[in-house]
Amino acid sequence: MGRYRLCGVLLFTLQLFYVLTSTTTNVVAATASFDYNDALDKSLLFFEAQRSGRLPGNQRVHWRGDSGLEDGFSQQADLVGGYYDAGDHVKFGLPMAYSVTLMSWAAIDLKKEIVAANQMDHTLEAIRWGTDYFLKAHCDNNVLWAQVGEGEEDHSCWQRAEEMTTSRLAYKLDSSHPGSDVAGETAAALAAASLAFKPYNSSYSGLLLSHAKEIFSFADTFRGLYDDSYPEAESFYPSSGYTDELLWAAAWLYRATNNDYYLQYASYNGASLGGTGNSVKMFSWDNKYAGVQILLTKVLLDGDGQAYTDTLKQYKARADFFVCAYLQKNGGDNVPMTPGGLAFLLASNNLQYAASASFLLAIYSEYLASSSSVIQCPDGTVQSQDLLNFAKSQADYILGNNPQSMSYLIGYGTHYPQKPHHRGSSIPSIHELSTRLDCSQGFDEWYRNWNPNPNVLYGGLIGGPDSSDCFTDDRDNYDQSEPTLTAGAPLIGLFSKLHSAFSSSPPSGYHESPKTPPQSSYSDETKEPSTPSGYDQYQNPSASYASPDQPAETPLQSTSVQNPSAPEPAPSSDYILNSPAPGPVIEDYVMVNQQINSAPSVLSGRVKYLVLKAMLPLVPLLIAAL
């Protein structure tokens, strides 16, 4: 009987090992249920936390206060308002405009989903906080203010926005200091925003469109990189080219105006500016090609290609490459995936790229569904639902369906990062701790503080885990723990689409403060933001100081494919489809051959180890018994 008992114990252990190791990989996926509307509401709250300027009466993030109230005054400009970029207090025009473009795109093509989620008011408020600032920044023909604040000096301080002592020097683009990348993206943002506001406020919409046209003309006429004009900017948001932004702006202006000139521009310059020749795997603040390609594919699918149909088909071929690469159906030339199922492109702040790609796929799924179209990938046919399913897999990973079982969206769920790399979040509110901190004091008392951030930065999407799905919740780990505008912007459209497609729950909202009424508050009684007079009465608030010994913050990596020299915009009959250009340089990742939705449980490896360890002593006993 002892032999049979021993055999039975071993067989039971083997069966237990099989059950545990074969099912743990599906535990999270099988039980996870996410409230996308709550995630949407919190994502919009993040933009309220990033506001610069005088805060409105309906501000929901109460630990923030007025700040940057004299931005631009020392240079005879009113640059009050706009958004702080990330965990710092610089207002970078390129990523800010990109973020506004994406939020506007969501408000246009996912309007019914955002309205159904009771979030259109907040979405339009988030867009307008950016566009009002851009109207001020475009204060004259062929002039656009591209940045406020000096990155190096700002990053040498750890202070709240309300008590900044760093320089607020602003950088102006003009005919002698061009910046077609920033100007092109700003034109795209204003054109897209004009469409978002058109149903609610026609006069404001018209104002935005008028500025968009002028800024595009400036970008196209005086061509150049903004960080060539101002090398100081290169350390933080280096631009790899402006050709994608010119096409991006033209595509949005065509959609906003239905003026054939802009479609002609995008068609005639498609090859020379890289739109029909670049096959990319990344959509980002620096690389808009995939966005251009999908936006112009809509024109083709809607049957509005006219004489430009052949060129639009080339744009669509590149858009389809982007999709096939993410869905792992691109003949081996796919986007790398982590073992847990996350698209992984860059080691620094990777989640923003997964989020932006997912937003694009959700938008493209709309276009495919409305035109009853499919995509023929090298490894099979792709339906519109396949795109949405992949977008959902990435959103679910962000919200907690990952090996860490952690929500990387701050404030969502019960397990989320406690120490994000963010100045305002990491220091008690100016309303609670009125004592002003100098640069080094902030580092000593709060940056190096091991406690969780005192202010929850609801809706901030941090950089996220590494290529092995590992994450360290550390304020000093800025590559993984810093939230950015560019990471948060695609979530507005992504979560609204997923809430509509996969959720049955009613709008939940931010539980700590009442929501604004669902009816839009945007009337037609709108005027352009005012500009103060008498600048000489204002003093420059910047102050000199000795830079303390603080951790350095690395610049974001450039993500565009190339920087071709752009020719003058002239009609061309050369519509030959170029051979695929190489994708973006993707460094510091581990290529993992794994199915997309195969995220293992964080405990699976430990469980296997313990069961195997328990089995080992039984093996010699079984052999002896036999």
Distances 269 to 213, 249, 381, 581 between C-alpha atoms, Å: 18, 13, 30, 16
In angstroms, rounded to a whole number, what is the distance separating the alpha carbons of residues 425 and 423?
A: 6
In angstroms, rounded to a whole number, what is the distance separating the alpha carbons of residues 592 and 430?
A: 46
Q: Give the pair of three-digit tokens for residue 284.
A: 């980002």
Task: For residue 273, give the nearest of 253, 260, 288, 252 by alpha carbon.
Answer: 288
Buried b (16+ CB within 10 A) or exposed e, 305-325: beebeebbebbbebbbbbbbb
Task: For residue 253, give the nearest of 318, 305, 193, 315 by alpha carbon.
Answer: 193
62 among known catalytic residues: no
Q: Which residues contact 42 (CB under 8 A, 6 or more apart)?
A: 409, 410, 411, 412, 458, 459, 510
CB atoms within 10 A of CB 503: 18
Q: In a 3-state reduction of DSSP, which class is residue 146?
A: strand
| Region at 258 (left for phi over 0; alpha for psi -120 to 50; beta for the rest) | left
Sign for the pseudo-dihedral over CA of 530, 531, 532, 538 = positive
Task: For residue 436, give the nearest of 167, 63, 164, 51 by alpha carbon.
Answer: 164
500 and 40 in contact (C-beta within 8 Å)? no
Listing DSSP states for 394-412 in one string gives: HHHHHHT-STT---SBTTS
In angstroms, rounded to a whole number, what is the distance separating the alpha carbons of residues 394 and 213?
A: 36
Task: For residue 414, give the nearest of 12, 104, 95, 35 by alpha carbon.
Answer: 35
Among the listed residues 138, 421, 422, 499, the single catalytic one is 421
Distances 115 to 108, 392, 515 between C-alpha atoms, Å: 11, 20, 14
Q: Which residues contact 414 (CB under 8 A, 6 or more apart)?
A: none
CA 374 vs. chain centroid, Å, equals 27
Pairing mode, strands 170-173 and 375-377: unpaired
Q: In a 3-state reduction of DSSP, which class is residue 379?
A: coil
In angstroms, rounded to a whole number, what is the distance separating the alpha carbons of residues 479 and 462?
A: 9
| φ, ψ at 445 (rounded to 5°) | -90, -25
| Per-residue 3-state assignment (H helix, E strand, C coil) for 164-201 | CCCCCCEEEEECCECCHHHHHHHHHHHHHHHHHHCCCC
In angstroms, rounded to a whole number, what is the distance separating the alpha carbons of residues 582 and 321?
A: 12
Residue count of the chain, please give it: 626
Q: What angle is formed at CA 474 by the lines to CA 468 and CA 478, rounded to 5 degrees?
A: 75
Task: For residue 244, give the nearest of 307, 350, 315 by alpha carbon.
Answer: 315
Catalytic residue set: 421
